């Protein structure tokens, strides 16, 4: 049955009632998703943690350690490492970042770039305080963090029963769905673990190198280098710019040494570290990565940018799967 909504001459536009009902329910679905987006993000983050931690739990299980205990040990260890790292890094980050920003107009002036001191003070001077507020906000939302860890824990426990549940729900399609989920988890887990290891190695190498060259602000510059590892090819180059600026303000020799340091670290990373650490994680196209980061940033701010890469990784598994199914049906 259809509904005639427009008639002009011999041209008639008709919309079926099924289309109207579908549109209404789709709008309602979007409204519901909008209202519970925080919950959905929490579930997705829990799934990412499960994908990264589950292989480690499986390894401990092989040593006769019960799965619940293995999951608790790894999750608590991960949380303790993060909290300890943040607590140790906050004081030098705030101190060195504040000093760097206050000296930024002078540093750029030595390179022939003029910057309004009042503009810097108003726009950048509050970054250390804002960073402290962000960290304080994280700890004030301890309940949310605890909830995510609890969900991750139960996801880890339930993962071993997934095959039976899929068989109960989907019957003959169970094997295909299990393989699909396994591919997604392997890809995401390998990428997360690889990025964490790469960030720690590169950040540590940059810090040691800058300290050896007597370059100030080594802590924030090393953290920038570690965080920018999530952007292939472009990230390391971008992270080099502020360090090079600081180096050249000391002397051309220091500036050249900083550029050489970053170049050697990047070569060491590309030829040795990446093949070892990321051998199970397929690298993302740099353009796709940048577009995903921009879309994620526009839709969800910093959290959206962080979660955009795992979404792309999932898409890399699902899109070829559905395309193959479409071809097989045709």
Task: Kindly report, residue by residue over 122-155, the tens digit of the pLDDT.
Answer: 544 455 455 555 555 555 567 788 888 899 998 8
Residue 324 lies in a domain: yes
Two tokens, residue 208? 């040691």
Residue 321 lies in a domain: yes
Note whether 310 and 188 are within 8 A (CB).
yes
Residue 315 lies in a domain: yes
pTM comes to 0.65
Q: What percent of the chain has pLDDT over 90?
A: 10
Two tokens, residue 192? 């997360």
Note whether 230 and 198 are within 8 A (CB).
no
Buried b or exposed e, range 245-266, using 16+ CB within 10 angstroms: bbbbbbeeebbebbbebbeebb
- Number of domains forming the structure of the chain: 1
Query: What would the mean pLDDT of 237-258 be, rounded to a whole number?
Result: 87
Residue 258 lies in a domain: no
Q: In the prediction, which pLDDT does 205 show?
A: 93
Q: pLDDT band for position 206 (50/70/90)?
A: very high
Residue 302 lies in a domain: yes
Residue 319 lies in a domain: yes
Residue 3, phi then psi, degrees to nearest 5: -125, 125
Two tokens, residue 281? 């994680």
Residue 104 lies in a domain: no
Residue 289 lies in a domain: yes
Residue 313, phi then psi, degrees to nearest 5: -60, -40
Q: In the prediction, which pLDDT does 295 show?
A: 83
Give residue 314's domain range.
Answer: 284-330
């Amino acid at each position: 049955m259809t509904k005639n909504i427009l008639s002009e001459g011999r041209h008639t536009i008709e919309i079926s009632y099924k289309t109207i009902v579908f549109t209404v329910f789709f709008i309602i679905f979007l409204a519901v998703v909008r209202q519970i987006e925080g919950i959905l993000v929490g579930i997705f983050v829990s799934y990412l943690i499960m994908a990264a931690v589950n292989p480690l739990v499986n390894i401990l299980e092989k040593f006769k350690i019960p799965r619940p205990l293995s999951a608790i040990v790894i999750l608590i260890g991960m949380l303790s490492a993060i909290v300890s790292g943040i607590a140790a890094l906050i004081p030098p980050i705030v101190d060195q970042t504040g000093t760097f920003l206050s000296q930024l107009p002078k540093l750029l002036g030595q390179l022939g770039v003029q910057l309004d001191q009042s503009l810097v003070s108003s726009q950048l001077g509050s970054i250390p305080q804002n960073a402290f507020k962000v960290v304080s906000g994280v700890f004030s939302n301890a309940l949310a963090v605890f909830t995510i860890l609890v969900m991750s824990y139960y996801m880890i426990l339930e993962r071993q029963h997934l095959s039976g549940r899929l068989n109960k729900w989907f019957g003959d399609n169970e094997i295909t769905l299990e393989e699909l989920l396994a591919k997604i988890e392997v890809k995401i887990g390998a990428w997360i673990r690889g990025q964490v290891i790469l960030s720690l190695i590169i950040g540590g190498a940059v810090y040691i190198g800058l300290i050896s060259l007597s370059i100030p602000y080594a802590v924030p510059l090393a953290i920038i280098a570690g965080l920018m590892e999530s952007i292939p090819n472009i990230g390391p180059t971008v992270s080099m710019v502020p360090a090079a600026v600081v180096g050249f303000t000391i002397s051309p020799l220091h500036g050249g040494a900083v550029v050489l340091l970053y170049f050697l670290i990047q070569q060491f990373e590309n030829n040795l570290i990446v093949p070892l650490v990321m051998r199970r994680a397929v690298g993302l196209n740099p353009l796709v990565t940048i577009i995903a980061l921009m879309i994620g940033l526009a839709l969800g701010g910093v959290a959206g940018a962080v979660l955009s890469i795992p979404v792309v990784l999932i898409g890399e598994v699902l899109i070829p799967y559905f395309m193959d199914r479409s071809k097989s049906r045709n």
